[in-house]
A and B are shown apart, each in its own frame.
Chain A
Amino acid sequence: MVTSSLAVGAGSGAALGWNIGEDIRQLLALHFMVNAFRAGTIVAVLAGAIGWFMVLRRQSFAGHTLAVVSFPGASGAILLGISATAGYFAASIAAALVIAGVPRSPGGRGYSSESAVIGTVQAFALACGALFVSLYGGFLNSLTGLLFGTFLGISDGQVTTLLIVAVAALAMLAGLARPLFFATVDPDVARARGVPDRLVSAVFLLLLGCAAAEVSQITGALLVFALLVMPAAAAQQLTARPALSFMITIALGLVIAWLGLAVAYFSVYPVGFYVTTFGFTAYVASVIIRAAASRLARSRGLRQAVPA
Chain B
Amino acid sequence: MPAEHDHAAGGGAAAAGSAGLAAGRQPGSLAVRFDRAEARLGGRTIWSDVTLDVAPGEFVAVLGPNGVGKSTLVKAALGLVPLASGTASVLGRPPGQAGREIGYLPQRRSFDAGLRVRGIDVVSLGADGERWGVPFPGGGRLFASRRAARQRVKEVIELVGATGFAGQPIGQISGGEQQRLLIAQALVRRPRLLILDEPLDSLDLPSQAGVAALISRVCQEHGVTVLLVAHDVNPILSYLDRVAYIAHGGAVSGTPSEVITSATLSALYGTPIEVLSTADGRLVVVGQPEAPARHTDRHADGPALPW
Mark A residues whose CB is within 8 Å of B.
Answer: 56, 58, 174-179, 181-182, 185-190, 192-195, 236-237, 239-245
Question: Residue B118 at the A interface, CB < 8 A?
Answer: yes
- List, sorted by A's number, 13 A–B pairs whose CB atoms are closer than 8 Å: A175-B133, A178-B132, A179-B131, A181-B129, A182-B129, A186-B125, A189-B129, A190-B130, A192-B104, A193-B129, A194-B99, A241-B118, A242-B118
Q: Would A182 and B133 count as touching, CB distance under 8 A?
A: no
Q: Would A186 and B122 count as touching, CB distance under 8 A?
A: yes
Of B78, B80, B115, B131, which is within 8 A of A178 by CB? B131
A160 to B144, CA, bound (A): 40
Contacts of A243 in B (CB 8 A): 137
Question: Residue B2 at the A interface, CB < 8 A?
Answer: no
A187 to B129, CA, bound (A): 11
Given contacts A192-B80, A242-B121, contact A174 B134 (CB under 8 A): yes
Shortest A242–chain B CB gap in Å is: 6
Classify the secondary structure of A's interface with B.
helix
Contacts of B109 in A (CB 8 A): 186-188
- Cβ-closest chain B residue relative to A247: B137
Indicate the size class of the contact surface on chain B.
20 to 34
A178 to B109, CA, bound (A): 20
Question: Residue B17 at the A interface, CB < 8 A?
Answer: no
Of B104, B122, B133, which is within 8 A of A185 by CB? B122
Question: Residue B117 at the A interface, CB < 8 A?
Answer: yes
Shortest A175–chain B CB gap in Å is: 5
Question: Residue B161 at the A interface, CB < 8 A?
Answer: no
Of residues 221 through 247 on chain B, the ones whose CB sits less than 8 Å from some CB of chain A are none
Contacts of A174 in B (CB 8 A): 133-134
Shortest A191–chain B CB gap in Å is: 9
Contacts of A177 in B (CB 8 A): 133-134
Question: Residue B135 at the A interface, CB < 8 A?
Answer: yes
- Cβ-closest chain A residue relative to B185: A189
Question: Residue B128 at the A interface, CB < 8 A?
Answer: yes
Q: Would B106 and A179 count as touching, CB distance under 8 A?
A: no
Q: How many A-B residue pairs have CB under 8 A?
A: 83
Question: Residue B116 at the A interface, CB < 8 A?
Answer: yes
A240 to B117, CA, bound (A): 5
Contacts of A242 in B (CB 8 A): 117-118, 121
Of A178, A182, A236, which is within 8 A of B116 by CB? A236
Given contacts A190-B130, A192-B104, contact A185 B135 (CB under 8 A): no
- Cβ-closest chain B residue relative to A195: B130
Question: Residue B57 at the A interface, CB < 8 A?
Answer: no
Contacts of B121 in A (CB 8 A): 185, 240-242
Contacts of A241 in B (CB 8 A): 118, 121
Q: Would B116 and A240 count as touching, CB distance under 8 A?
A: yes
Q: Would B134 and A189 count as touching, CB distance under 8 A?
A: no
- Cβ-closest chain B residue relative to A173: B134
Q: Would A181 and B133 count as touching, CB distance under 8 A?
A: no
Contacts of B117 in A (CB 8 A): 56, 185, 240, 242
Question: Residue B169 at the A interface, CB < 8 A?
Answer: yes
Q: Would A188 and B106 count as touching, CB distance under 8 A?
A: yes
Shortest B51–chain A CB gap in Å is: 25
Shortest A35–chain B CB gap in Å is: 30
Shortest A76–chain B CB gap in Å is: 37
A195 to B99, CA, bound (A): 13
- Cβ-closest chain A residue relative to B138: A243
Question: Residue B176 at the A interface, CB < 8 A?
Answer: no
Given contacts A182-B125, A188-B109, A192-B106, contact A240 B135 (CB under 8 A): no
A66 to B121, CA, bound (A): 30
A176 to B107, CA, bound (A): 26
A186 to B122, CA, bound (A): 8
Shortest A198–chain B CB gap in Å is: 15
Q: Would B128 and A178 count as touching, CB distance under 8 A?
A: yes
